[in-house]
Structures are given as C-alpha cells and as structure tokens.
Amino acid sequence: MYPINQRALAKWGSKYGQDSKHAASDGAYEIKNWNSSKDTWNLVKNKDYYDANKVDLTRIHFQVVKTPQTSMRLFQEKDIDETQISGSLVADAKKQFKNETVVSKYGQLAFIPWNNYRKTTRNLNLRRALSYAINRQSLAKNVLKDGSLPAQSVVPEGEVKDASGKDFNAGVAPKLTYNLTKARHYFKLAQEELGKETINVQLLTADTDAYKAVAEYIQSQAKKVSPNFNLTVRSIPLQQEISDFSNHKFDAGTLGWSTDFPDPIDYLNLAAKAGVINFTKWTNDKYQKLIDQINDTTHQTAGQRVKLQQQAASLLNELQGVTPLYQYASVHLRTKNIKGLDYPLIGYQKYEYASWKK
C-alpha cells in the first residue's frame, strides 16, 4: 500500500511528486534539491519525525553513477562513503576493501523464461535437459563470483520459513540438481518428440557483464549435453529485451525478479496464468489449482498455506514453467565510519538506524 497525501495532491495537482518542493513525506528524512532529471539530491533529517531524537545522520547526499566501475573508483578515491557494486568487481573489492565490503543475500532471483508459443521451447524434455545441464553451484561460485547463491527453487533462500522453522526451500523437492547423464537423456527424448536431430535455441539476455557471463556459461553447458544442442546468445539492452519478451520475439531468455513483500506467491506467480511477467502465459492445470488454493486465504492456516506454496515450487521445479538459475547477492562498499546500516533481503537499507562514528 502506497498512500498519497490527499491534501498535498489537491494543492499541487499534476506537480505532485515531480520535484522535492512538491513531495510530501512523514518519514525520518525529507528529500531536498531533487527533480526527475537530476543525478544528485539530499535527504535531510525530518525534525517533525516522531522518533527524530534517535536519528543520527542529519544529511545524506546521493549521487547517481552509471556503472559499478564508477562506484568502485569513487569509493577508492574516498569521494563517497557507501555504494553498491556487482559482477567481477566484487572479488577485487573483497581483497582491496576486506573490512568494508558487505555481502548480503538479496531477494531477487534470476531465471529462464521460455516461449510457450514456439513448439521447440514448449517442449518439457528440452527444458529439463538444459536445467540438468546447469551446475548452479559452479555458476554462482566460479562464474558470477559475487556472493550470489544457487537457486533451489523459484523462491529465494531466506524469504520465509515453514511451520517447523526451516527455510522454505527445505520443503521443496525435487531439487534443482546438476546431472549431465539426465540432461543427455532428456535431450534425446526432446529430439524424438520434435523430430529433429539438431535443436536450435536462441538465449536472449540483457547486455550487462553478469548476464553475458551467465549466458556464455549456459551456452557452454548446452554443448556438453550434445553437439546437436545449438544454443546461441543474443545480448541487447534490458528495455529492448523486455519488449521482445512482451512481443514473444524470443526462444528463451534470462531475467531477474525481486519482490517488495515477504511472501513466496510473488515468485510463484512468475509461472501463474495471471503473472505479470509470465510473458507467454505458460500454464498447467495442477499448478494453477495450487495457485488458486494459495490465494484462497480464508480456508487455511498460515502453516497450511506455506505447505501449498512448497508444493507449487516443487511442481515448478519438475515442470520447468520457468527455470530458476541463481539468487542475487547485495554487495556494498561501506566505510568503517558508518555503523548500524544493514541491507535487508527485501527492500532497501534504512538510514534512520545508521550512525557516523569516527
């Protein structure tokens, strides 16, 4: 729920939210010196905040940078005190800034969406072949090298626990395992069902360093399955990739999804009939029935609902409605002067709890 201040909206009309002079807030900070075209702005302590006496940082200056490389350089030069980095820079940061690199789990999952309007990529055995060919442990540790975790299901680790207190994915089976023998078995089945010796699939991916590296890894793994598994890679800007997904101009792709509320349903909806980024409307009657049961919250306890969600995640692992890849890491460079600033699985860091210590 994102309520809007009705009095401010009535007063400012279409100017509401267009710049810091026309923004209403009741949090620990007020935004200053901002409009939609600016790359810098300030957060200034809100003296009217109910808990203002506990807010230590009085002013925070924000600066937008275009690349992780710029973030790293600015931190090296001590021009900034905190920033986020990613990709290949993480390994260097851990060496250079051992005590100032903070790696946390992040509630964002990378996965492969498949085009169900195309006969080849609709084939379940082909999807299973590629999933079994992906060593998610190696992908996270040796390719990404940034603290990312191998996906266990479409739901990230750490988001929710079941009634016994265990992580959600402890109750998900079958697991997403690496098994070349099975990959080759399912590929042969796909060849028979499709009536093709050579199967061509193009993998669409955003043109970032991380996604390019992931795509190249998946491409190499497909070749291990069979020389007749011809997986090519096409890297394009993210906005164009989303457009191609929406217009069904793809075979398979790589994409990430994060949530802003702690409930597995937001990830399970990636393969639900009404899912907003279920681009080709993949559906399965058994899976959809589970989704409908999960959404009928009046006839179940919270514990029963989690069990239904685990069943849905298990079924999705089996049916490969989407193919989960890895869970993102949140990696920040943070000067030792900043205390009390943590990075949650869902949402963003809360500066009101931070302090500055020299």
* Residues 306 and 162: beta-carbon distance below 8 Å: yes
Chain centre to alpha carbon of residue 91: 20
Q: Which of 231, 247, 301, 292 is nearest to 265 (CA)?
A: 292
pLDDT attached to residue 97: 96
Q: Which of 245, 236, 28, 16 is nearest to 116 (CA)?
A: 245
When pLDDT is cut at 50, 70 and 90, the band that residue 208 belongs to is confident
pLDDT attached to residue 88: 82
Chain centre to alpha carbon of residue 220: 23
pLDDT attached to residue 86: 87
According to DSSP, the residues that pair with 326 across neighbouring strands are 110, 150
CA distance 104 to 341: 12
CA distance 215 to 218: 5
Enumerate residues 6+ apart whose C-beta is below 8 A from 99: 336
When pLDDT is cut at 50, 70 and 90, the band that residue 36 belongs to is confident
* Residue 271 burial (CB count, 10 A): 28
When pLDDT is cut at 50, 70 and 90, the band that residue 1 belongs to is low
pLDDT attached to residue 358: 75
Q: Which of 327, 330, 268, 270 is nearest to 149 (CA)?
A: 327
CA distance 104 to 347: 12
For 226-253, write each residue's pLDDT tens digit: 999 999 999 999 999 999 999 999 999 9
Q: Which of 338, 295, 336, 288 is nearest to 315 (CA)?
A: 288
Quote the mean pLDDT of the chain: 95
What is the pLDDT averaged over residues 204-217?
94
Distance linking the first and last C-alpha atoms of the chain: 39
Residue 14 has pLDDT above 80, yes or no: yes
What is the pLDDT averaged over residues 141-148?
93
CA distance 230 to 78: 47
* Residues 115 and 321: beta-carbon distance below 8 Å: no
pLDDT attached to residue 87: 81
Cis amide linkage into residue 3, ω under 30° from 0: no
pLDDT attached to residue 305: 95
Which pair of structure tokens corresponds to residue 337?
A: 């002067």
DSSP label at residue 144: I
For 90-108, write each residue's pLDDT tens digit: 989 999 999 999 999 999 9
Please report the beta strands in the chain, taking only residues with DSSP state E, as ranges in sequence order: 29-32, 40-45, 59-63, 82-85, 101-113, 149-150, 199-206, 229-236, 252-253, 255-258, 322-334, 338-339, 355-356
What is the pLDDT averaged over residues 167-190?
97
Enumerate residues 6+ apart whose C-beta is below 8 A from 274: none
pLDDT attached to residue 66: 87
Q: What percentage of the chain carries pLDDT values higher than 70?
A: 100
For 291-327, write each residue's pLDDT tens digit: 999 999 998 999 999 999 999 999 999 999 999 999 9
Report field, pTM of the whole predicted structure over 0.85:
yes
What is the pLDDT averaged over residues 62-74?
93
CA distance 279 to 301: 32
Q: Which of 252, 257, 285 is nearest to 269 (CA)?
A: 257
Residue 25 has pLDDT above 80, yes or no: yes
